[in-house]
Amino acid sequence: MFSTRVPADRRPNDLARALARARARGPVIDLTLSNPTRAGIHYPPDLLSGLSDPAALTYRPAPLGLRDAREAIAANYARRGLRVEADRIVLTTSTSEAYSILFKLLCEPGRSDVLTPVPSYPLFEHLTRLDGVVQRRYALEYHGAWTVDVDSLDRAWTPETRAVLAVSPNNPTGSTVRGADAEELTARCGSRQAALILDEVFCDYPLHGLLADPRAFSAPPCLICRLGGLSKSIGLPQVKLGWIALDGPAGIVSEALDRLELICDTYLSVSTPVQMAARSLLERGAAVRQQILDRLRTNDTALRAVVTGAGGATVLPAEGGWSAVIRVPATRSEEALATALLERDAVAVHPGYFFVFPHEAFLVVSLLPEPDEFARGIRLVQDRLDAA
C-alpha cells in the first residue's frame, strides 16, 4: 500500500537508543546540537515583529516570491560581494524544499540520478529518495585539505545524471569548493547538460580568515542553483524561508525560471507574512548571525586547545560552518567510542559514518553549544581517548 520512497525500516538506530537511555538517566552534554534557538543565543524579542505587518492580510500570490523579498535577498548576496539579479531568485520555505523543487525541475522520476558528495549532509539520502531520484556518490578526499576526487565524480556520472550537488562550506568538513574544483564541476556540468546545485547555507560562518571567493562560480558554462536560507544565515529555522539563486547561460536560466514558476505556482508554499518580513529579518538578524559566529569561533579555539594530538586525536582544519571533525585512533569503532561517551560520560557526539567518511575513525561535534558546556564535553571526549 505504501511507497518505497519511505524506507520500510524506520526503527531508531543503536546510537539513538543509547542517547534515549542516557537522557533518561540524567542531563546529557549534547555535542550534536544543531538548533541555534536552543543554544543560549540572544534573539532580540522584536525580531519577528515584521511578521505581523497588516499588509500581509491581503493575499498576493506570487509563485517565485514577492518582489521586495527577492530584492532583499539580492542585497544579502551583495553583502558577500556577489551580484545576483532579484529576477533570478526563487523563494522557498527552506533549503530542503529547494532541493525538492530542483529535483522536480531537473529529474525524471525513478530514472534520473544526482551526484552527492561524501562526507557530507546525511539528509541527501531522504531528500533524493522522497523525490524518486537516484543518489550516486562522489568523494571529497582529504590531504591536509578537502578537495573533489574528480575520478570518483567521473565514475559516478551516468547518462541519467541531471545534477551535481556541492556544499560550501560543507557539513561537516567545513571545507569550501575552491577555484580549481569549481572549474572542474562547472565544466563537466556544462558539457554534460547537468546543473550544479551549490548549497551555501553556511556561507556566513568563516571560522577564520575569508571563505573561498564566491565569485569562483561567476559566468558559469552551466546552470548553477545557489541555495541559502534564514535557517542558518540568521539562526531562524522555524521561520521557514529559503531561496534559490540561478546563474548560468541566459537561455537556460530563463527556461529554468519559467518552469520553476509552474512548480512553485502549484504549491505556493511560502507564506505572505514571511515574505513581507524578509527584508527586516535579514537586516535585524545580522545581530544573531554575529553572535553565532562568535560562538563558533570561541568553541573552535577551545576545541583546538584541548584536542592537540596528544592522545592520537587531531582536529581537522576547517574553513567555515557549524561543525568540527576530530580524527581519532581507529583502535575501536566510531560506534563503540560514541556509545562509550554516551554511556559513561553522558556526552553525545556523531560518529563519522553518519556522514559517510571514507574510513574510520572520526567524530563530528557541533560548535554551537554554550561555551562552558562545550568545553566540559570536549574535555570528557579527550579524557575518554586518553583512557583508551
Ligand X SMILES: Cc1ncc(COP(=O)(O)O)c(C=O)c1O
Interface contacts to ligand X, rule CB under 6 A: 34, 94-96, 121, 167, 171, 199, 201, 229, 231, 237, 242
Instruction: Look up cell 548560468; give the residue.
Output: 248
Q: What is the closest distance, in whole angstroms, from the C-beta atom of residue 326 to ligand X in the complex?
A: 18
Burial degree of 114 (CB within 10 A; 0-12, 13-18, 19+): buried
For ligand X, the closer CB: 113 or 200? 200
**Angle 12-13-15 from CA coordinates, rounded to 5°:** 115
Q: How far is CA 344 from CA 223, 347, 378, in A?
A: 50, 8, 14
Q: What is the closest distance, in whole angstroms, from the C-beta atom of residue 24 to ligand X in the complex?
A: 26
Q: How far is CA 244 from CA 72, 89, 94, 100, 226, in A?
A: 13, 6, 10, 11, 5
For ligand X, the closer CB: 119 or 190? 119
For ligand X, the closer CB: 200 or 247? 200
Q: What is the closest distance, in whole angstroms, from the C-beta atom of residue 170 to ligand X in the complex?
A: 7
Helices and strands in the chain: count of H runs, count of E runs: 12, 14
Q: CB atoms < 10 A from the CB of 4, how many?
A: 8
Q: What is the closest distance, in whole angstroms, from the C-beta atom of residue 46 to ligand X in the complex?
A: 23
Residue 218 CB contacts under 8 Å (≥ 6 apart), including other chains = 247
For ligand X, the closer CB: 19 or 167? 167
For ligand X, the closer CB: 94 or 176? 94
- Asked whether 223 and 189 are in contact (CB, 8 A), the reply is yes
Question: First-to-last CA distance in the chain?
Answer: 49
Q: What is the closest distance, in whole angstroms, from the C-beta atom of residue 356 to ligand X in the complex?
A: 14
**Which helix (DSSP H) or strand (DSSP E) does residue 100 occupy?**
helix 95-106
For ligand X, the closer CB: 25 or 38? 38
Q: What is the closest distance, in whole angstroms, from the C-beta atom of residue 231 to ligand X in the complex?
A: 3
